[in-house]
Structure formats: structure tokens, C-alpha cells
Structure 1
Amino acid sequence: MKLHELTPHVGSRKNRKRVGRGPGGTDKTAGRGHKGQKSRSGAGKGSFFEGGRSRLIARLPKKGFNNVGTTYEVVNLAQLANIEDATIDRNVLELMGLVRRKNRPVKLLGSGEIARAVTIHVDAASEGAVKAVEAAGGKVILPEANEAEKAE
């Protein structure tokens, strides 16, 4: 006996049914019965279908709220202490690794202290952050302020 002469035992292997391929694939209805939803391709009602009554997810009470507001990249005053530039804008914050996502606006928050006068260009800032920067002799420039100056 040689390796190329080996074959499996008779009846131990069976070819799969090639459904819908003529008489060998159970012919005609291909094992799906006659007509009806289950005989069609793409048949089925989905895992959440409950026989026509309201879905469970629709019957459960709604709770909480969905905040569709703006998501900011947050920068705190304490993080700005390491930056030695007199003017801090988005480019400087990106270089320092404080802002990662380019599609989100930057917001300055007042956690920490700043000891020197700097000009900060951000999209939004908390009142506490603005007061702290102005107390140190600097200023915070927001986009709304720029638009107001252009209007004048």
C-alpha cells in the first residue's frame, strides 16, 4: 500500500448538499418547502421581533437624558505652568501633547494656578479660569470675542 492509494472507508465521508443546484441540491424548492417567508432569501424577522407586539426595548421606561452638547478637549491651568511661551494657542497645546483630537474644540478650566502673564487662545473657558489668568496679568481670547471685534 502506498500513500497515494489511501482512501477513507466507504460511507465515512459524505458530500455536502449543494442546495438549489438542480436535482442534486434537492431540486425545485431546495428543501425550503413551498412559498412563505421562510422560503425566501434574506428571510427572518430579526432577533428583537416579538410577534407583532411592542419590542421589549420600547416597553421599558425611559430614564435619564441624552446630552447632545459639545465635547471639549479639556486643558487645566496647572498644565500650562510648564509652557514657557507668552502666547498659548491650539498649536502649542498640540505640540505639548495636551490636546490630541483635532476635531474637538479646546476648553480652559481653572484647576490649578498660573503665576505669569500669558495670552491664551481657546474655544471656551470657565469663568474661574478667565479670572485666574487675568489676576496673573494675562488674558484669555475666545472666538466670540474675535467675532465681536470684527463686527465693530
Structure 2
Amino acid sequence: MKLHDLKPTPGSRKDRKRVGRGPGGTDKTAGRGHKGQKSRSGAGKGQFFEGGRSRLIARLPKRGFNNVGTTYEIVKLSQLDGIEADTLDRTAFEVLGLVRRRGRPVKLLASGEVTRALTIHVDAASQAAIQAVEAAGGKVILPEAQTSTDDAKAE
């Protein structure tokens, strides 16, 4: 017996049901019955549909403030301790495995200590992290913020 001789046992494999493909049992209505919302393609009720009344989530009072803020990729000073590079930026963090999600900005936090001078390019940093890096002789480079005078020049 060879690999190309292998075949499944007769009757062990069954063809899938191809509905709506001409006469032969499951043609015409394709097992959906006649007319109505549930017979249409893409139709159906939403997950929170409650028979036509207002959904529970819509009936509950809305309170407070929902802050949809920026979610950062966090890099801590303690993670930079064993790294030999003098200049660190997003690509270096990705290579080292400190940053995973590409769409998120990188923020440096002051958890841990820096023992040598580093130049770090990040999108945001805490004041304590900036002070700790500068105390060790390094610097944190942040992107320049747009000011109102820059906006006026563009117009």
C-alpha cells in the first residue's frame, strides 16, 4: 500500500449540502420557508432586539463622562536597563519586543532607574521619566506639538 492508494472508506465522507442550487431537494427556498424577514439574505434581528420595545441599554439612564482617550504602548525605564544601544526609538523597541501594537503611540514611564546616558525618541513621557533620563545624562525627544501659530501659517 502506498500513499497515493489511500482512499476514505466508502460512505464515511459525505458531500456538503448545497442549498439553492437548482432542483434536487433544497432548491427554490433553500430550506428557509416562504417569505418573511428570516427568509431574506442578511436579515435577522440584532443581538439586543427585544420584540420592538426600546432596548434595555437605551432605557437605562446615562451618567458621567466617557473619556475615549489615547491608549499608549508603555515602556518602563526598568526595561531599558540591559539594552546596549545609546539611541532608542520605536523600531528599536519593536525589535527588542517592548512594543507590540504598531498603531499605538509609545509612552515612557518612570518605573525603575536609568544608569547611563540614553537618547530616547517616544511619543509621550511622564515628567518623572524625563527627569530620571536627564539626571543620568541622557535626553528624551518628544514630537513637536502643533501650536496655533503653526496652524495660522499653513492657511
TM-score, normalisation: structure 2: 0.63
1:132 and 2:132 are equivalent in the alignment: yes
Structure 2 counterpart SS, 1:120: strand
C-alpha RMSD over aligned residues = 3.3
Long gaps (5+) in structure 1? 1-16
Long gaps (5+) in structure 2? 1-24, 151-155
Change (3 A) 1:121 1:50: closer
Equivalent position of 1:95 in the other structure: 95
Change (3 A) 1:88 1:51: closer
2:39 to 21, 41, 54: 41
C-alpha distance in 1 between matches for 2:102 and 2:38: 48
Structure 2 counterpart SS, 1:66: coil
Counterpart mapping for 1:54-69 below 5 A = 54-62=54-62, 65-69=65-69
Q: Which has the higher helix share?
A: 1
Q: How many residues align?
A: 122
Equivalent position of 1:12 in the other structure: none
Larger radius of gyration: 1
Q: CA deviation at 1:49?
A: 3.9
Moved more, 130-139 or 40-49: 40-49
Q: CA deviation at 1:144?
A: 1.4
Change (3 A) 1:53 1:79: same
Change (3 A) 1:131 1:41: same
C-alpha distance in 1 between matches for 2:66 and 2:134: 35
C-alpha distance in 1 between matches for 2:61 and 2:36: 34
Change (3 A) 1:138 1:49: closer
Equivalent position of 1:84 in the other structure: 84
Equivalent position of 2:12 in the other structure: none
Moved more, 93-102 or 122-131: 93-102
C-alpha distance in 1 between matches for 2:81 and 2:37: 70
Change (3 A) 1:102 1:59: same
Equivalent position of 2:20 in the other structure: none
Q: How high is the sequence identity, in percent, across the aligned residues?
A: 67
1:107 and 2:110 are equivalent in the alignment: no
C-alpha distance in 2 between matches for 1:120 and 1:100: 18
Change (3 A) 1:59 1:85: same
